């Protein structure tokens, strides 16, 4: 079992990684908890024993759960169950569950404790760690949320064996991101010239621990996304735009989050090259890592450059401009004020439709 600490100012918790980690739930609940609400989704198919009275709250499957109405339903369920400020929420599932359950915990009674029991690769290496919670609006992804750190995170690698191929791909897209973030913060693993490709060949538990170690170091240095933490959004500006462009529209592409991040990573590398920040060899490394994880770096057919730029302008990092996290001579960092024409040209070179909005 591997334990990675997340050491924040005034709050420290542990991420427990390895087979059977979910059975440590009783040990990691805060002292004095007498009741928990277990938030999960029907397909998760994993049970936990908190050792105290538990109310199970099931949220809708997929991204449909990340709505304000679902947060209200959860909080009303907590109230009916009699959860007090000294009790806790247990988020049992993937990134959608940790996002929505964490946000509900952050707002119920102005904040109660929660523990993430992550059951997907994406949740284990990224979504369950770091305290960013939230839900979607029709206008975009994750536009409403809160920073609310968990009391503990349990990453049971044993349960990953049952994941379908698309869920593995989703997690590996985020893992590909972490391949380029070694050494970005004090205490973060990696940072050497060969670390990006080295991650491809590590055993699973080591891969998870590497990614969690990077995220823990970044969050410890910048809990509320002042600047450094923005590097965790590497590849996400385009990824969120692709997800938003397809959100609620029949007949558009269907990309899992990590699959969209994989496309976003290659786009970010191509954009950085056009801006003179990196060379062709560095772009080729991005493509090798993405394909090495079995992922496709192609834009979905019919993606409109103009529509994607419009969604990217709404990104949370932006300050009334186009802001991206890009590779460069100092490593991965936020870059503000990127010329929209260069962004469009990069998208067109990757196969996007012309500058007219898609339907």
Burial of 164 (0-12, 13-18, 19+ CB in 10 A): exposed
Residue 340 has pLDDT above 90, yes or no: yes
CA distance 319 to 313: 9
- 132 catalytic? Reply is yes
Rg (CA), the chain: 20
**Mean pLDDT value across residues 165-176:** 95
Q: Which of 24, 177, 229, 256 is catalytic?
A: 229
Neighbours of 137 (CB within 10 A): 15
Residue 314's Cβ-count burial label (10 Å; 0-12, 13-18, 19+) is middle
Instruction: Tell me the H-state helices in the chain.
Output: 25-28, 68-81, 95-107, 121-122, 165-178, 195-198, 204-221, 236-246, 257-274, 280-292, 305-312, 340-349
The three-state secondary structure class of 315 is coil
**Average pLDDT of the chain to the nearest whole number:** 93
Task: Name the percent of the chain lying above pLDDT 90.
Answer: 84
Mean pLDDT calculated for residue range 262-272: 98
> How confident is residue 252, by pLDDT bands cut at 50, 70 and 90?
confident
Q: What is the model's pLDDT at position 359?
A: 45
| Beta-sheet pairing, 333-335 with 324-326 | antiparallel
Residues 263 and 303 sit within 8 Å (Cβ to Cβ): no
Lowest mean pLDDT among 203-207, 211-215, 228-232, 251-255: 251-255
Catalytic residue among 116, 136, 142, 233: 233
Q: Is 104 left (phi over 0), alpha (psi -120 to 50) or beta?
A: alpha
- How far apart CA 30 and CA 151 sit, in angstroms, is 7
66, 141, 177, 215: the catalytic one is 215
How does pLDDT run across 98-127, given as a tens digit for each residue? 999 999 999 999 999 999 999 999 999 999
C-alpha 232/C-alpha 239 separation (Å) is 13
Its pTM stands at: 0.92
Asked about 86 being catalytic, the answer comes back as no
Instruction: Say whether 27 is catalytic.
Output: no
Tell me what pLDDT residue 307 has: 93
To the query of whether residue 229 is one of the catalytic residues in this protein, the response is yes
From the list 61, 59, 182, 178, the residue with the least C-alpha distance to 129 is: 178
Catalytic residue status for 225? yes
| Beta carbons within 8 Å of 307's beta carbon, 6+ residues apart | 245, 357, 358
Structural tokens at position 358:
């898609």
Checking if the pLDDT of 358 tops 60, the result is no
Per-residue tokens: 341: 């024409």
For residues 231 and 249, which has the higher predicted lDDT (pLDDT)? Answer: 231
Confidence of residue 315 (pLDDT cuts 50, 70, 90): confident
Q: Which of 66, 67, 177, 236 is catalytic?
A: 236
Residue 280 is a catalytic residue: no
Mean per-residue pLDDT, 251-264: 90
319 an active-site residue?
no
Bridge partners (DSSP) listed for residue 324: 335
The verdict on whether 110 is a catalytic residue reads yes
Q: What domains can you pick out in the chain, each with its CATH number?
A: 2-163 (3.40.50.1970), 228-349 (1.20.1090.10)
* SS3 of residue 104 by DSSP: helix
Token pair 């909005």 in the structure block, residue: 357
Read off the pLDDT of residues 40-84 as tens digits, 9 standing for 90 and up. Answer: 999 999 999 999 999 999 999 988 999 999 999 999 999 999 999
- Tell me if 172 sits within 8 A of 33, measured CB to CB: no
From residue 224, alpha-carbon distances to 146, 149, 218, 235 in Å are 10, 11, 10, 19
């Amino acid at each position: 079992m591997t334990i990675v600490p997340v050491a924040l100012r005034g709050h420290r918790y542990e991420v427990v990684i390895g087979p059977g980690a979910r059975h440590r739930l009783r040990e990691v609940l805060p002292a004095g908890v007498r009741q928990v609400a277990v938030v999960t989704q029907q397909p998760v198919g994993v049970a936990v024993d908190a050792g105290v009275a538990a109310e199970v709250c099931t949220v809708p499957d997929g991204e449909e759960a990340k709505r304000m109405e679902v947060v209200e339903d959860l909080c009303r369920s907590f109230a009916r169950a009699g959860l007090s400020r000294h009790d806790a929420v247990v988020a049992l599932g993937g990134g959608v569950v940790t996002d929505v359950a964490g946000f509900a915990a952050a707002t119920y009674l102005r904040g109660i404790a929660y523990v993430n029991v992550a059951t997907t690769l994406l949740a284990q290496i990224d979504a369950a760690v770091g305290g960013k919670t939230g839900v979607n609006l029709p206008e975009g992804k994750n536009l409403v949320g809160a920073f609310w750190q968990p009391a503990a995170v349990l990453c049971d690698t044993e349960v990953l064996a049952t994941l379908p191929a698309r869920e593995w791909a989703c997690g590996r897209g985020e893992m590909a991101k972490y391949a380029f973030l070694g050494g970005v913060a004090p205490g973060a693993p990696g940072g050497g010239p060969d670390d990006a490709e080295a991650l491809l060949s590590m055993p699973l538990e080591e891969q998870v621990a590497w990614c969690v170690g990077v995220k823990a170091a970044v969050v410890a240095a910048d809990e509320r996304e002042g600047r450094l933490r923005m590097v965790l959004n590497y590849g996400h500006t385009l990824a969120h735009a692709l997800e938003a462009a397809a959100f609620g529209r029949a007949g558009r592409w269907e990309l899992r989050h990590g699959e969209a991040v994989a496309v976003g990573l290659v786009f970010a590398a191509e954009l950085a090259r056009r801006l003179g920040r990196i060379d062709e060899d560095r772009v080729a490394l991005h493509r090798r890592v993405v394909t090495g994880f079995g992922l496709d770096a192609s834009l979905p057919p019919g993606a409109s450059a103009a529509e994607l730029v419009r969604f990217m302008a709404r990104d949370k990092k932006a300050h009334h401009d186009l802001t991206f996290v890009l590779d460069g001579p100092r490593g991965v960092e936020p870059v503000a004020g990127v010329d929209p024409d260069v962004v469009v040209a990069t998208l067109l070179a990757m196969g996007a439709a012309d500058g007219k909005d898609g339907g």
